[in-house]
Amino acid sequence: MTQGGAPVDNGLPPALAALLAGVKNASRLAVQVAPPDIRPWASGNALPGVWSFCAAEPGPHVVVVALMHGNEIGGAVLLDRWLRAELRPQRGKLTLVFANLEAYARFDLDDPTASRFLDEDMNRVWDEETLDGGRRSSELRRARMLRPVFETADVLLDLHSMLWPGDPLLLCGQAERAAELALALGTPGVAVADEGHAGGRRLLDYTPFSAPEGRRRALLLEAGPHWQPETVAQMETSALRLLRLTTLAGPAPPDAPGRLARVTRTVTAASNRFAFLRPYRGGQVVAARNTLIALDGDAEIRTPHDDCILVMPNLRVGRGQTAVRLARFDPGNSR
């Protein structure tokens, strides 16, 4: 994104454009939420970095996950706030997880994208072959430790934020029961039924949550841009509403209507020359079918249908990574 070291106006917010252009101190502009000191929570009461609270009355086991990506600090802000406030379930069990403690420990205001993970993306390892296999990494060690917690979750919410500009959304994978939960949650107002990534399975794609015959449900919240107060606010609104629906903890935010979109095509970059024709924003709708939106080397990427929703376009994608999901609203699943 630079030519001769000078930032290029590419339609991005100035702080993000400057950050990606490597402008000194730009990252301090971009990080507008103070990273919390979570050392008091590192020991956990169930596992390191894992806190579980049981109510006397039986009910579902609800798990809220922060820091699956170590640089997405909004979830840690929220869980730190809840732990200090001693939020407790009124029924069932509530478990709060700080997932990638080691990556978060390296969060650096001068290079805030660097601490996403140490060895590999922790949200691409959630299949039995990988978890049971012999590969070793910091993230796999932690994933194997957390696996029993996630395998007993009736409902799980995985809190994330986004590098590129885009509207908040809930990802629910392929399980219809997760899509129903996302619509019941209603905030943010858009839920996307998607296919995951070619690069590996996410926690919400893990068998206990995705098997057709199962009953466990997982949602991934992309709450807004990294490091912004409004992103933490969206996390809190969505998570509190989930707790209200499940464990009756906390106040209930007002009802909001949700809409379900289904991914029609997952575009994986086949080259390192993938480039969008414009700085598209997540949630943007391209009205006309067959609109050219990107070039992947010489290959044209066009919208497959009218009213095509661009889900989380990655404006600086490498070969083998997801460049964008294309989706459309499901007329039968809005309310």
Which residues of this chain interact with Zn ion, rule CB under 5 A?
69, 72, 160
Rounded to the nearest whole angstrom, what is the least distance from the CB of residue 123 to Zn ion in the complex? 6
Give the residue from 89, 69, 81 showing the smallest Cα distance to 34.
81
Rounded to the nearest whole angstrom, what is the least distance from the CB of residue 69 to Zn ion in the complex? 4
Rounded to the nearest whole angstrom, what is the least distance from the CB of residue 206 to Zn ion in the complex? 16
CA distance 310 to 47: 38
CA distance 143 to 305: 38
CA distance 217 to 225: 25
Nearer of residues 117 and 274 to Zn ion, judged by Cβ = 117
Rounded to the nearest whole angstrom, what is the least distance from the CB of residue 286 to Zn ion in the complex? 25
Task: Decide if 256 contacts 234 (C-beta within 8 A).
Answer: no
Nearer of residues 108 and 255 to Zn ion, judged by Cβ = 108
Rounded to the nearest whole angstrom, what is the least distance from the CB of residue 295 to Zn ion in the complex? 27
Nearer of residues 124 and 241 to Zn ion, judged by Cβ = 124
User: What are phi and psi for residue 183, nearest 5 degrees?
Assistant: -70, -35
Give the residue from 139, 150, 164 showing the smallest Cα distance to 50.
150
What single DSSP character describes residue 34? P
Give the type of residue at 237.
T
The sign of the CA dihedral 174, 177, 179, 182 is negative
Beta bridge partners of 268: 322
Between CA 159 and CA 168, with CA 163 as vertex, the angle to 5 degrees is 50
Structure tokens that stand for 222 in this block:
């992309």
Give the type of residue at 291.
T
Rounded to the nearest whole angstrom, what is the least distance from the CB of residue 226 to Zn ion in the complex? 9
Rounded to the nearest whole angstrom, what is the least distance from the CB of residue 293 to Zn ion in the complex? 23
Give the residue from 300, 322, 302 showing the smallest Cα distance to 311.
322
User: Which residue's CB comes closest to Zn ion?
Assistant: 160
Rounded to the nearest whole angstrom, what is the least distance from the CB of residue 83 to Zn ion in the complex? 21
Q: Look at the block and give the residue holding tokens 């024709």.
A: 277
Nearer of residues 52 and 161 to Zn ion, judged by Cβ = 161
Would you give the distance in Å from CA 116 to the centre of its chain?
Answer: 12
SS3 138: helix
DSSP string, 158-183: EEEEESS-B--EEE-TT-HHHHHHHH
Give the type of residue at 40.
P
Rounded to the nearest whole angstrom, what is the least distance from the CB of residue 312 to Zn ion in the complex? 10
